[in-house]
Amino acid sequence: MKAVGVKDGKGPLENLFIDEIQRPKVDHAKALVKVRAFGLNRMDLMQREGKYPLPPQAPETMGVEFSGTIEELAGESEKGFKKGDAVFGLAYGGAYAEYIAVSTHMLVHKPEELSWEECAAIPEVWITALQAMYLIGEFSEGKSILWHAGASNVSIAGIQLSKHNGASAVYATARSDDKTDFCVNTLGATAAYNTKSVDWADEVLKATNGKGVDIIIDFIGPSELAKNLRAAAKDARIVSLACLGGANLLPEHEQPNFLSFFAKRIRFEGSGLRSRDEAYQGKLRDQLVEHALPKFRDGSFKPHIEKVFPWEDIKEAHGQMERNETKGKLVCTIP
């Protein structure tokens, strides 16, 4: 079968090419799915460059979310799935290919209301948002929440989840006025702040009359730690999902006041989804089906797609993601 490979095993986007590899086999509770579309994620760029530590069960082929039809089922597959079913799901890897072997515990039946491309844009980002918000951030109705990188895919999902599940206020940050406008006018955030032009922590404190925000979901890392601590309310939860701004605190960064952890009883916790075991991911799959899928069906939730590419244009797709030119998902289709 055909799959996207990387010449020399890692490198720049110019190293991407369509390769011929062996079709995966299924065992235990796995299904073989013929892929119709797959979503791109920033971890794919890191994996291509050799900078992402793969979990042991992940194949070399990139891609963790997809949509397609079941071609074959192993003997221990989850009940409710059969050959020919239209599905979408989350995998440890292998979605940049014509076929993928994936646990049926991570599959979801495709709603008729959604396209193949829309379904491929859902699993990783919406499950990550649910994990960060509920399992780690301990969100409940009436709490306030802030999503950094508000026009990124996880935050696009998170802002919608927060708004529709009773957040008292939903804040966001981004690095351009275009993206902050998108967060407010398209996604429905209470307010969004351009981190290049304002001190967003000061603005959040003004908006909350000095109280601060209950939950902060951060992708930026050390450069925002001091502001996160300033903007956090008492008993706040700060959830760290990435370090897109770099892994180290530098002299030019605002220096964090670590007394805030004690004075405000702040809990700071990092997490990742891809390294979690199948049972943990399966529980999140069930949350997606229960809490989000009905709202996708009735149009309340939308998987915002920036652009769809034929998979032969994978270099162009990776290039657009590298340039940070998106306010939504990049998706590739396979004929």
Same structural domain for residues 266 and 145? yes
- In a domain? residue 132: no
- In a domain? residue 316: yes
- In a domain? residue 129: no
Quick one: which of 209, 207, 216, 220 has its CA closest to 172?
A: 216
Task: Phi first, then psi: give them for residue 321, nearest 5 degrees.
Answer: -70, -40
Contact 212, 232 (CB under 8 A): yes
Q: Specify the pLDDT at position 249.
A: 95
Residue 252 is part of which domain span? Answer: 137-270
| 14 Cα distance to chain centroid | 25
Q: Specify the pLDDT at position 277.
A: 86
Same structural domain for residues 36 and 88? yes
* Sites in the chain below the pLDDT cut of 50: none
**Domain final position from 253, 270, 287:** 270
Q: Specify the pLDDT at position 215.
A: 98
Give 296-305 pLDDT, tens digit per residue: 999 999 999 9
- In a domain? residue 62: yes
Q: Specify the pLDDT at position 162.
A: 97
Per the structure, the count of domains in the chain is 2
Q: Specify the pLDDT at position 210.
A: 98
Give 51-108 pLDDT, tens digit per residue: 998 988 999 999 999 999 999 999 999 999 999 999 999 999 999 999 999 999 999 9
- In a domain? residue 130: no
- In a domain? residue 131: no
Any idea what the CATH number is for the domain that residue 166 is in?
3.40.50.720
- In a domain? residue 252: yes
Same structural domain for residues 244 and 183? yes
Give the global pTM. Answer: 0.92
Token readout for 307 is: 């652009």
Contact 116, 291 (CB under 8 A): no
Same structural domain for residues 59 and 77? yes
Same structural domain for residues 310 and 241? no
Q: What b-and-e string marks burial along 322-332, b requiring 16 or more CB atoms within 10 Å of the CB?
A: eeeebbbbbbb
Any idea what the CATH number is for the domain that residue 114 is in?
3.90.180.10
**Domain final position from 236, 254, 270:** 270
Same structural domain for residues 259 and 286? no
Same structural domain for residues 95 and 26? yes
